[in-house]
Amino acid sequence: MSQFLEAVINGACVGAAYALLGLGYVIIFKATEVLNFAQGGMLLFGAYMCYNAHNTWGLPWYLSMVIATLAGALFGLILEQVALRFLVGQPVFAQIMVTIGLLFVIQEGVNLVWGGDALNMGDPWGLTTVTVFGAIISWAYIWRLIMAGVALIAFFLFFRYSRFGTAMRATADDHEAAMAQGVNPNRVYVAAWVISGACAALAGISFTTGSAQLQPTVQFVAIAAFPAIILGGLDSPGGAVVGGLTIGILQNLAAAYVPQYLSWLGDGFDKVVPYLVLVAVLLVRPYGLFGTKEVRRV
């Protein structure tokens, strides 16, 4: 029981970070139909900015987090302005490839500024643990879960109730109708990139604190978040959260129980689990659990 609880809570913590990343993907996809491969680059930038603020400038941890989040948001804005803005109306495939090109450039940029060696973000939340029903949970995990939870709740409140959030949803639904109501779609696209950049920065911080180290290869976590968004549906923010948590928890459960009960499956099976879940779901529901089914006309 304690092992189960540990796997679920640790999984939820990783899953919450996946959810943040996934939300970043979904927001951009919903606004512009672009699958943003540069998300990994934004994640790197955010994490390194946090490192820079905390370890190089010596700022307090929470202030560093805020700075990194704002820097991530600004970075999203810059990417939109220097590259993606020129591609509105181009084939989606071309836009996806441009984000891949950006990823290569960002990755080498980070390499240039901070170097390729592994850096240590430190243990901002300490190493203490708490015991819940016999399960030993690290406080750092709980804090990471809370951080992601607060960010997600803030986003959904904004998206659901604020004036601009409503404008974003309207644009995603039908951007011509939204324009007729006075919404400026360009501002919505920019906002999508800004939110996505901030989410990626927070996820980056979550993935690189504690025992995990900060190095350029961390960006591939962003690709590991793909199953989460496909599972939830590419254009459903709520789906990204459900998908992220599901994938995180299932992966941790597999890591905990496969060696015990299905040892013939061997090492590394937990890394395959997200994709197996993905395949099973996609064969039944090709647009994910909550994704909008595409209406196809001749």
115 binds other proteins (CB under 8 A): no
Q: How far apart are CA 43 and CA 49, in angstroms?
A: 10
Sign of CA dihedral 91, 293, 198, 271: negative
Q: Is 120 exposed, middle or buried (0-12, 13-18, 19+ CB in 10 A)?
A: middle
Region near other proteins per CB under 8 A, out of 27-35, 138-146, 176-184, 193-201: 27-35
- Residue with smaller CB distance to other proteins, 134 or 286: 286
94 binds other proteins (CB under 8 A): yes
Instruction: Tell me how crowded residue 90 is: count the other CB atoms within 10 A of its CB.
Output: 12
89 binds other proteins (CB under 8 A): no
Distances in Å between the alpha carbon of 219 and those of 21, 39, 106, 180, 207? 11, 8, 11, 40, 10
Applying CB under 8 A, what is the total number of residues that bind other proteins?
51
88 contacts: CB under 8 Å, gap ≥ 6: 32, 189
Q: Is 266 exposed, middle or buried (0-12, 13-18, 19+ CB in 10 A)?
A: exposed
108 binds other proteins (CB under 8 A): yes
Region near other proteins per CB under 8 A, out of 44-52, 61-69, 105-113, 178-186: 105-113
Region near other proteins per CB under 8 A, out of 12-20, 79-87, 145-153, 184-192: 79-87
- Residue with smaller CB distance to other proteins, 176 or 294: 294
Q: Name which of residues 29 to 48 contact other proteins (CB under 8 A).
A: 29, 33, 35
Q: How far apart are CA 276 and CA 268, in angstroms?
A: 13
Q: How far apart are CA 97 and CA 88, in angstroms?
A: 14
What would the x/- binding string for other proteins be over residues 224 to 263, using CB under 8 A? Answer: --xx-xx---x-----------------------------
- Residue with smaller CB distance to other proteins, 32 or 64: 32
Least distance between other proteins and beta carbon 239 (Å): 13
DSSP 53: I
Angle between helices 2-32 and 139-161 (to 10 degrees): 30
| Out of 59, 74, 78, 87, the residue judged to bind other proteins by CB under 8 A | 87
Least distance between other proteins and beta carbon 296 (Å): 5
E strands along the chain, which residues?
129-132, 135-138
Q: Which residues, listed in sequence order, are joined to residue 129 by a DSSP beta bridge? A: 138
| Out of 88, 105, 127, 154, the residue judged to bind other proteins by CB under 8 A | 105
96 binds other proteins (CB under 8 A): yes
- Residue with smaller CB distance to other proteins, 97 or 136: 97
**Short-list 141, 111, 114, 125, CA closest to 65:** 125
Q: Which residues are near other proteins by CB under 8 A?
A: 29, 33, 35, 83, 86-87, 90-94, 96-98, 100-105, 107-108, 111-112, 217, 220, 223, 226-227, 229-230, 234, 266-269, 271-272, 275-276, 278-279, 282-283, 286-288, 294, 296-298
